[in-house]
Structure 1
Amino acid sequence: MQTTSDISLPPINVYRVIENPVENIAFAIITLILGYIIVRILAAKIESYGEKDVRIPRLMMIHITNAIKFFLYLVVVLIALAFLDEDIEAVIISVSALVTFVLGFGMKDTINNLASGVWIASSRAYDINDEVTIAGNHGYVTDMNMMSTELKMVDNTRIIVPNGSAWNQPITNVSKMPTRMIVTLYQVAYATPISEAIEAALSAAAKTPGIHTDPAPYVRFREMADYAITLQLRAWVDTDAYYHAESELKRTLYAELIEAGIEIPYPQMDINFNGN
């Protein structure tokens, strides 16, 4: 008589959920589709929570959500492979070997770009839609990943700047502050009363929409150049209205100088001939 301890059970494959190969493939496809949808929804929820509730910068949230999505997608793929009765450990080893092989060709630059991307995001150097100058390129940030930053130039061209190049050079961001100063140089003839030249500039600032009255615009005496006196008009404006206000201010300043009868000099050279 056999006892319970003498009965041996056949080995069970923990990955073989369904024995029918067709059903296995169907379940794997369903897993991939549902997993993709669920990961997208979770990533969107996490990104929205991070930006609105925790107030994490959008650029940093892009890095965080990309990392989360990569990990979750990997989990979904492994689950799908389990339905196909694949050796999960062998798949993981193969993927790791492939990643190591790819990174081996450009490890230094790759690590530099990855680290620079993390530092840029954590330091809040710039965010999506910011107007910046990066590695000598001026434009608006349209996208950023762990390796590079994408800029849209004023002429609507697209430039990709490696994060390593961006982090290793000065970054100018003109969108971070709520206000900007408009600095306008203008020149008047030496015979011009300085008070009249200053009054014309302040009048132009007062007539230009968007120019702040606090702090009030003011004029500095810059230098006595070779053929003219150089003055500098400074005025504050909201950052979003900078370019329009700058153009209007210069146009109005020119009109005010002409109306006041102030001579705007131009470079000239006197040549004397010796009759001998």
Structure 2
Amino acid sequence: MEAFFEDLYAYAAAYGLRILAAIIVFAVGIWLARLLSGLAEMAALKSQLEENFSRFLRNASYATLIVIVAVAALGVLGIPTASIIVLIAAAALAVGLAIQGSLANFASGINLSLDQPFKVGDIVEIANRRGKVNQIRLFTTIINTPDNVRIIIPNSRITSTSICNYTVNGTRRLDLTFNVSYEEKIDRARHIIMNVLAMDARVLADPEPVVAIKELGDSAIRFAVQPWVRAADYWQLKYDLNTEIKQALDENHIAIPYPHREIHVIGSSPASHQEHAPIEH
């Protein structure tokens, strides 16, 4: 028994300080990892990054720092760490090759979070799909279409195509077209349409609405009606103005022609075109 305690004393004298130093390094490392990962999350939130990206940044930075601290503690104990580092690097490379498609989506998700071409609630058109952004995830983005269909788009596809954001500027221009008969006075028709726009509070005064002749068609004068509206009012106001302007033109007896065609038959007698009653059997 005495020999055992002597060996234990000799081992403690030889390795006790190293063990104590390794414990101190690991404990301080954990504290620093928590502190730095928390600071990284706070910085991400202040940069207006999405919450899920901020949370991922905190967790990823914490895990990375813990691995570094663990390797450092093993080094203090005198354990060779070169082989451990090589093993970790090889494992990371193998995992990266196995999930390279997901990594592309992840990198694109980080890019979207940093550039912020759109945010949750924006009306966008991505990859020929239009809808409201519901979620921006690490690997995918979810949008809901106007008919309430959920579409999940990989982030790598979003960053490789054009993005139309209909909300970010705050205002949009409506583009309507109304046909008026050539027999009507242009100024009178324009005045009626302008009055309808002026009566609707959703139509912005600045920029000023435009009512102008768009085209002299085959059977009608085509007016371009272009008021500016808030992005949130766009669709409802479009439907309402179509109704209100049509009613105003009708009330003022402004004719709205429709295309028609006259056919003249040459070289045949009128009798040949008389309708005959069907013969019943």
How far the C-alpha of 1:65 sits from its partner, in A, is 2.9
SS of 1:231's equivalent in the other structure is strand
Confirm or deny that 1:9 pairs with 2:11: yes
Give the letter for the 2:104 counterpart: N
Query: Equivalences for 1:1-276 in 2 at 5 Å?
Result: 7-9=9-11, 46=41, 51=45, 54=46, 56-59=47-50, 62-72=52-62, 100-107=93-100, 109-276=101-268
Q: Is the 8 A contact 1:130 1:176 kept in 2?
A: yes
SS of 1:227's equivalent in the other structure is coil
Give the letter for the 1:57 counterpart: Q
2 CA distance for matches of 1:230 and 1:129? Answer: 36
Q: 1:257 to 1:73 in 2, by over 3 A?
A: farther
Q: Is the 8 A contact 1:220 1:231 kept in 2?
A: yes
2 CA distance for matches of 1:145 and 1:8? Answer: 56
TM-score by length of 1: 0.70
1 CA distance for matches of 2:113 and 2:49? Answer: 9
How far the C-alpha of 1:93 sits from its partner, in A, is 8.3
2 CA distance for matches of 1:50 and 1:110? Answer: 22
1 CA distance for matches of 2:253 and 2:8? Answer: 116
2 CA distance for matches of 1:268 and 1:98? Answer: 75
Q: 1:201 to 1:96 in 2, by over 3 A?
A: farther
1 CA distance for matches of 2:161 and 2:113? Answer: 15
SS of 2:109's equivalent in the other structure is helix
SS of 1:222's equivalent in the other structure is strand
Give the letter for the 1:132 counterpart: V
List gaps (5 residues or longer) in structure 1. Answer: 18-37, 80-88
Give the letter for the 2:243 counterpart: R
Tell me which moved more, 155-164 or 129-138: 155-164
SS of 1:9's equivalent in the other structure is helix
1 CA distance for matches of 2:207 and 2:198? Answer: 12
Deviation sequence 1:53-100 (CA, Å, 0-9, x none): x4x2343x5423322123436778999xxxxxxxxx999988876654
Tell me which moved more, 174-183 or 239-248: 239-248
Aligned to 1:83: none
2 CA distance for matches of 1:181 and 1:70? Answer: 44
1 CA distance for matches of 2:8 and 2:55? Answer: 54
Q: Is the 8 A contact 2:41 2:57 kept in 1?
A: no
2 CA distance for matches of 1:91 and 1:264? Answer: 82
Deviation sequence 1:159-207 (CA, Å, 0-9, x none): 1111121112110001111222122111112222211221121111112
Bigger-Rg structure (1/2):
2
2 CA distance for matches of 1:102 and 1:133? Answer: 34
2 CA distance for matches of 1:46 and 1:116? Answer: 19
2 CA distance for matches of 1:102 and 1:228? Answer: 67
List gaps (5 residues or longer) in structure 2. Answer: 24-33, 70-80, 269-281
